[in-house]
Structure formats: structure tokens, C-alpha cells
Amino acid sequence: MENKQSAEQTEHFGIGRTKWRITILVIFLFLAVLGSFLSLTKGSSIISIKEITDILLNPGDDPRSQIIWNIRMPRTIVGALVGINLSLSGAILQAIMRNPLADPHIIGISSGAGLAGVVIMILFPAMEYLITPVAFIGAMLAAVCIYILAWKNGIKPVRIILAGVAVSAFLGAGISGLMIFYSDRVHGALMWMVGGLAARSWPHVNIILPYAVIGLILALASAAYLNILQLGDEMARGLGVNVEVTRIILTAIAALLAASAVSVVGLLGFVGLVVPHAARLLIGSDYRFLLPASALLGIAIVTLSDTFARVIFAPIELPVGIIMAFLGAPFFLFLLRREI
Amino acid sequence: MFLKKIACGLLCAAMLVAAGCGGVGTQTGGDKAYLQLTDAAGRQVSLAKKPERVVSLSPSYLSMIEAVGGTVVGRASSKVGKIPESMKSVPEVGMVYNINMEALVGLKPDLVLASKNQHDKFIPMLQSNKINVVEFDTQTFEDVKGTIKTLGDIYGTQDKAQKENELLDKQVAAVTSKLPKEKKRIVIMHATASAVTVEGSHSIAGCVSDILGFENVAAAALKGKSNKTPYSMETLVEQNPEIIFITSMGKPEEIENRLRTDFKNNPAWNSLPAVKAGRVYVLPEKLFLINPGLRYPEAVKFMAQQVYPEVFTNGK
């Protein structure tokens, strides 16, 4: 956190701090809009922008209208919402754990949802319709479990992280075990582990939208608390914050955000870790700016990656998780090198 | 790959010379060995004498082995698929993917039948124990017939193998001859409503649909690629296949009901005319996910029956 202050005190390209932050927010907003726009206009079937405008104004019953309205549009929206939820979740967790490696994985969301999803896909394939609620329950159970395990006269972030690693390893063993004993059936499970947006449509939008909206409002409302928690428990207590309660509530918000995203699209882990960091490197650690910046960058990264995943080998599709890691990791390293 | 082969050949030749096997060089064994063959992985296998202790690492070979009159002293266990009655009591050597090498080597096999890709990792260990391995690939109908032929060669029952293959051909022809002469446009997808995965010709269902003369709309894009590939739903809507086949895991009836409602509630799937028309058929896992082996004609008939129920109403 020391270099936070120095980073904030320096002026960026001669622009004042607030101006710089607003500029970055505007750039992220532009990227988010660009990503959503490309996601809607590019795909394996070539439809011109003019045609898309016509279709959007006068929806019909022809295949192209179907493609735009029922395939591309909901997919873009699900992608954007997933981007928001995972980035916010990661940003919140990084503040309350005061650890740069904190992300939805660390509180067990991914492994919980992963195991629940794989159990459904491999053992009860006929009940696949339950995968979203079951994955959600699995994610939340794992998160609660980790929190309880880490509790010893209060919560220490380090204990949460270590409990998280242990529980994730435990659940991960379950996933691997199932995959080995049912080797004929692993394909669906693998796709779930990588995460993807194929075949996502309006019902999925309905599932994830309330969490995204409520989560975004709650997260923005608690930006001040997140700023204080970053200073350390002692300092936060001195400032009159009930650290334990705040941390539980914020962890719950982060868990709900991530669980809703992961239960719909599978284990898209990368967004939650990298997006908040990338945003932080550019905009600083003030959560009043960092939260909206993370949300916008999350939208941009998920929609752009998904568009890329759909177009690059069309009509063959890559799962978005793979593209995201391929494009995101080098970009992230670039930012990191530049900053240090 | 090519260099590797040359290197392998040179190494073999060198070893033969070193072992004092005689001065015939690379042609050694032509008249001495019991059997020489090139397996599905392109490996040259030479059996010095007729194998007596055979272990099958894939349960799907067992019925074919039985058909050519062969026996095994060990087999892999499997949660899915049928094991022939006579081979149920044979010692097991672990799960298909996770072979227990100690149990396997403990059976002192002189030949191990393995599945290409699935068992590649075990081969070096088997070779270091001086156990011969023959790998098979049994996705397509031709693969299955080739496997039966090779098994006949191994067990020295070529005539039985040939009869079995002729029978298979006849059974398949009995189905295809009844079909109307038209090219149905179809697509084969792997079951799950949450991913769009298509299968090409080098899969069991893909091969069966080729035998039936259907046109797989996704085949062009897949070419030689792996048999399960994520695919664009937009392109599917444009290509508009008349029929969707689903390769399933689990109980077909349950899955069919489930998928139908899943599809109905998902506007993206509903954009496919075949889904709207209800022309979605689930292919049972015992015939289309694990290799059907001798039941290939059954798989052919099953698929034909789904598309043309009227042709197959009377009797068989």
C-alpha cells in the first residue's frame, strides 16, 4: 500500500489527479461500449450494421432477427453483467483481505460452484436444468465454510486466504476424482470448468441481472468502508468502523456477485483477479473511482474476449475463458512491468 | 513425426543387430515372428508367438474379442457399457483412464490391447516391462471392422473375424437399403444445454450418419479437427439443419424430456427451426458415446429409426 500514496501524488501527464481519474473512467466507458457494440455486430454470420439497426427497430421472425435478438443480444448482456459482477467481487475482496491475490477463487466460489456443476453434469446429467441454482448453492456453501473455518476470535484475512486454498484444494480433488472415474463424460464438465457464454439467452440475463444491479449499488455505497478497510484493522477500528461486521457483509456481497456470475457461465476465474488490478494500476486505490472503473473494464474485457472467441475460428467457437487468459495475462503483465 | 519414425527404425535395427538376431537387418522376423502389424497409432508391433495372456484396457473390445473366439486374462473396469458374460469374472486392472499398472503387470500379460489416445501414457512403462501393446482406434465403422480383423490375426481366427465383419456389413446394409434416397441435413451435438458442441465424421454418431447418407452441416467446418468441437449457434441457425441428434450421457428418456424443456425455455435454442419442429433426438450413450463395437449396426438402425419411424414400423 505504500506505493499507493506515491502513485496518487504523482501527476499523470501533467493532468491533476481527479481529472486523470475521470479521463480513465471515460476511456473505460468507451471500451465497454465498444466491446458491447462489437459483440452485437460481429459473429460467425455476417450481418451488416444497417441490417442490425433494421432488425433492432422491427424485430421479425426470420433467422437473422432470431440471431440478433435471441442469440447475440442476450449473450452480450450476460457477458457484460458477468464482467461487472466478477470484477466488483474481486475488487471488494482485494480490499477486505488486503491481499493482491484475493479474488472469487480465494473465498471458494469457483471450487464450490465447480464441484456442484461437475456433480450435476457427470452424475445427474438429466437434471442439468438445476445446474445454475445448484452451482450457486455450492459456491455459497464453500464461501460460508471457508469463513467459518477461518474464524478464531475474529477473522484475519490471512486465515481466510489459507482456509480458502485448503478448501479449494479439497473440492478440486473431488472434481478431478469425478472426471477420472467418468472419463467418458468429461466433455461437458470441461466446458463448465473453462467457462463460456455459448447458448446463454434471456433466462440467464434474468437470473444474473438482479444480482448485478443490487451488487453494484451496494458496492458503490460501501466504497468509503472499503477505503478504510484498506488501511488495516487497527486504523479502521480507530476510525469507528466495526471491522468484523463490515467484513462479513462485504464478503457476502462479493460472494453473491461472484456466485451469480459463475453459476450462469461456469468458472470464468480470471476476470475477478485481473480486472481490479488493471483498473487499480491506472486509476489508484480510491474505491469511489476504482469500483466503477473495474465494472466498466470488466464489461469491456468479457465482451471483447467473447467476440474474439466467436469470430477468430468461426464457425468454430472457443470458450471465452481461454481467450480471456490468452489476451488478458500479457496485457496485465505489461501494466505491471510499466508500473514497477 | 517422420524423423521420429526413422529414428525409431534405426534404433530397432541397431538393437536387433546388437542382440545378435542375425544379419537380415530391418526385414528380420518376417518368417520367424507369429505376427507383424502396424497399429492405430502407427506403431510397428511384432509378436514372436501367439499371445496367450491378453489384457484389454478398454471394455469395449471385449465383445469383439469374444466374437473372434479369443479370451483375456485381465480387463479394465467400467461404469458404463456391457461386459460379456464369460468375461465378467476376469480379474480387473483398474478404471479405463486410470489403469493400475501393478495389477496389470502382475497378470503377466504377453499382449495388452489399448485404446489410442486414452492409454498412450502407459505404453513406455509396458514396453520397459517387455510387454507388447497394440493400440486400436474404434470411432468409425471401418475402425471397428479393422479392429475385428486385427483381433482375428492376433488370436489366429481370421475366418471367424471375416465372418463377423461380413455379418456386420450385411446388418448395416439391411438398414441402409430400406431408406428413401434423400439427403437429410443433420447436425450432431453433444448433450448439455449449456454448451454448443458439434461432432464431425470421426465420431461414432458422425460415422453412423455418414453411413446413412445424411449431410452433417457442421462437417465442412470441422474437417480433420477433434471430434467434439464448440460451434457457433448463429451459424447453426443459418445452416438450418432439419434434424438435431444429441449424444447423451445418462438415461436417454430423461435427457430427452429435459432437453426439450430446456430448449423450449431458451430463446437461443428456440431460434433453431429443428428445435421448434421438435426434431431433436437423443442418441443413447451405450451405442454412441462408448464404442458400440459389434453393436454398430444397432447404432445405425437406431439413428435411421429416429428419422424414418415409418420405414421400421413392421417387425424389425
Q: What is the mean pLDDT of residues B39-60?
A: 85
User: Is the pLDDT higher at B94 or at A6?
Assistant: B94
CA distance A288 to A277: 15
Which of A182, A187, A203 has the CB atom closest to B190's CB atom?
A187
- Partner-chain contact B267 A70, CB within 8 Å: yes
Residue type, B113: L
The interface predicted TM-score (ipTM) is 0.72
> What DSSP element (H or E) covers A322?
helix A320-339
pLDDT the model gives residue A14: 62
Mean pLDDT of chain B: 79
- Reply yes or no on whether the pLDDT at B238 is more than 50: yes
Tell whether pTM > 0.80.
Answer: no
Size of interface A-B (CB pairs under 8 A): 144
- Partner-chain contact A125 B218, CB within 8 Å: no
User: Is the pLDDT higher at B60 or at B30?
Assistant: B60
- Partner-chain contact B222 A316, CB within 8 Å: yes
- Partner-chain contact A45 B197, CB within 8 Å: no
Measured N-to-C along each axis, helices A287-311 and A73-96 cross at an angle, to the nearest 10 degrees, of 140
Looking at the complex, report in whole angstroms how far the Cα of residue A129 sits from the nearest Cα belonging to chain B.
Answer: 7
Q: Which residues of chain A have pLDDT under 70?
A: 1-15, 184, 269, 339-340
Query: What residues of chain B lie within 8 A of the CB of A39, using their CB?
Result: none
**Nine-digit cell at A234?**
487497527
Looking at the complex, report in whole angstroms how far the Cα of residue B238 sits from the nearest Cα belonging to chain A.
Answer: 7
pLDDT the model gives residue A28: 93
Residue type, B181: K
pLDDT the model gives residue A2: 42
CA distance A325 to A194: 10
- Reply yes or no on whether the pLDDT at B212 is more than 60: yes
CA distance A146 to B313: 59
- Partner-chain contact B237 A45, CB within 8 Å: yes
CA distance B218 to A8: 54
Contacts of residue B311, Cβ cutoff 8 Å, sequence gap at least 6:
B178, B179, B180, B304, B305
Please tell me if residue A69 touches chain B, with a CB cutoff of 8 Å: yes
Q: Name the percent of chain B lying above pLDDT 70.
A: 84
Tens of pLDDT along B147-195? 899 989 888 888 888 888 898 899 888 888 888 878 888 888 886 666 7
**Nine-digit cell at A316?**
468454430
Please tell me if residue A131 touches chain B, with a CB cutoff of 8 Å: yes
Query: What residues of chain A lie within 8 A of the CB of B251, using their CB?
Result: 126
pLDDT the model gives residue A31: 94
Tens of pLDDT along B186-198? 888 886 666 778 8
Query: What residues of chain B lie within 8 A of the CB of A72, using their CB?
Result: 234
Opening angle at CA B259, ends B253 and B260, nearest 5: 90
Whether residue A315 is preceded by a cis peptide bond, meaning omega within 30 degrees of 0, is yes
- Cα B290 to chain centroid, rounded: 7
Would you say the C-alpha torsion A104, A107, A110, A116 has a positive or negative sign? negative
pLDDT the model gives residue A213: 93
User: Is the pLDDT higher at B146 or at A101?
Assistant: B146
**Nine-digit cell at A5?**
500514496
DSSP 3-state assignment of A126?
A: helix
Contact between A94 and A287 under an 8 Å Cβ cutoff? The reply is no
- Reply yes or no on whether the pLDDT at B306 is more than 90: no
Contacts of residue B160, Cβ cutoff 8 Å, sequence gap at least 6:
B67, B68, B69, B152
Helix, strand, coil content of chain B in percent (nearest 5): 45, 15, 40
Please tell me if residue A46 touches chain B, with a CB cutoff of 8 Å: no
